Amino acid sequence: MPKPVNRTTPANVVVKLEAADRMMEIMPGVKFKYWTFNGSTPAPFIRVREGDTVEVHLSNPINSGLPHSLDFHASAAPDGTAMVSSTKPGRTTVYRFKTLSSGLYVYHCASIPGAGTHIGKGMFGLMLVEPKEGFPPADKEFYIMQNEFYTNGSFGEQGLQVFSTEKAAYELPDYVVFNGHYGSMQGEKALKAKVGEKIRFYVGNAGPNKASSFHLIGKTFDTVYVEGGTLQNHNVQTTLIPSGGAMISEVTIPVPGQYSFIDHSIFRADKGARGTLMIEGDENPEIFSGKLRDEPYDKRNPDSDIDTGFKH
């Protein structure tokens, strides 16, 4: 995450993006030819201020073989700047747009025909346009993007997998992942924070097809900026992020331990839409006791004469 914008006046912000093909693994042993901006999926997180002028430099290497472009959802321009930014191999396109509205916005390749393929192979990122007064401070900020991969193989099939236009058209993804790879935020790559810290998630959904039911297991979101805009909701268990949309959420966690975040369209978690947030700190038995007992249960027929066990 880039640092917050600590300016009180507009500025000219130069954003340099280069189309780059990269052979990477969706999951161990599953190779896929990613199309990226600046060599990564998702592309860099861009952070600017409302009223800034964004000067975009889009470069396309001579050996790319295809034109690439950019659709900035944050812009006020025909086709989100897609037409003016169309860049042939061996060229660099430069143009500007002004950020008129604060919020969290997706940007992606929008070359026609085949924009869905360019997104489906990894050409997308997020731009945060901070309001003029800035965001309240947070202790930790995390950048997460969900996307789907459609391949000619089955889930987990080893070797080089090729993008499947047919599966994409029928919306049958083999993988639904966070930050471009299966397990990208699990194990040693888990996100880390501490008890009592204010955590802010910037979450985008590149699609190219499915909406995301983003859910943190173990704590409701204290605040959600619905679809990345100014509307706020509170005490939210699961929030919907449409394809091509985003959201901002804030949470403070009072109990240490492992917290998973998933797409609660639950079978997608098995396809990769699962990450881990590790919270360190002192135990808080007033909020959560942990296991108090583990004892035998000797009722012979649990289906008869059921006692709910609730006492008031």
pLDDT digits (tens, 9 = 90+) for 149-198: 999 999 999 999 999 999 999 999 999 999 999 999 999 999 999 999 99
CA–CA separation, 309 and 81 (whole Å): 62
| Alpha carbons 76 and 95: distance in angstroms, whole number | 13
Stated as kind and residue range, the H or E segment containing 118 is helix 115-120
Token pair of 308, please?
Answer: 């709910």
pLDDT of residue 255: 97
Specify the pairing of strand 245-252 against strand 198-207: antiparallel
CA distance linking residue 23 with residue 31, whole number of Å = 7
CA–CA gap between residue 251 and residue 197 (Å, rounded): 8
From CA 201, how far away is CA 119, in angstroms rounded?
22
What digits encode the pLDDT tens for the residues 36-72? 999 999 999 999 999 999 999 999 999 998 999 999 9
pLDDT band at 310 (very low <50, low <70, confident <90, very high): low
Q: Look at strands 274-280 and 257-263 and give their pairing.
A: antiparallel
Please give the pLDDT value at position 302.
Answer: 60
By the 8 A CB rule, do 13 and 64 touch? no
Instruction: Indicate the pTM of the whole model.
Output: 0.94
Give the residue with greater pLDDT, 214 vs 8.
214
- The two structure tokens encoding residue 126: 């997020």
Binding residues: 68, 73, 108-109, 118, 123, 264
Instruction: Indicate the domain borders of the chain.
Output: 12-130, 140-280
Q: Residue ranges for the binding site for Cu cation?
A: 68, 73, 108-109, 118, 123, 264
Q: What is the pLDDT of residues 83-130, one digit of tens each?
A: 999 999 999 999 999 999 999 999 999 998 889 999 999 999 999 999
Return d(Cα 59, Cα 194) in angstroms, integer: 40
> Do 140-280 and 12-130 have the same topology in CATH?
yes
Q: Where are the beta strands (DSSP E) in the chain?
A: 12-27, 30-37, 46-49, 53-60, 71-72, 91-98, 103-108, 124-130, 140-149, 159-161, 175-178, 191-194, 198-207, 212-216, 221-225, 232-236, 238-241, 245-252, 257-263, 274-280
- Band the pLDDT of 300: cuts 50, 70, 90: confident
pLDDT on residue 306: 59
Fold of 140-280: Immunoglobulin-like (2.60.40)
The C-alpha atoms of residue 117 and residue 119 are separated, in whole angstroms, by 5
CATH of domain 12-130: 2.60.40.420
The answer to whether 106 and 73 are in contact (CB under 8 A) is yes
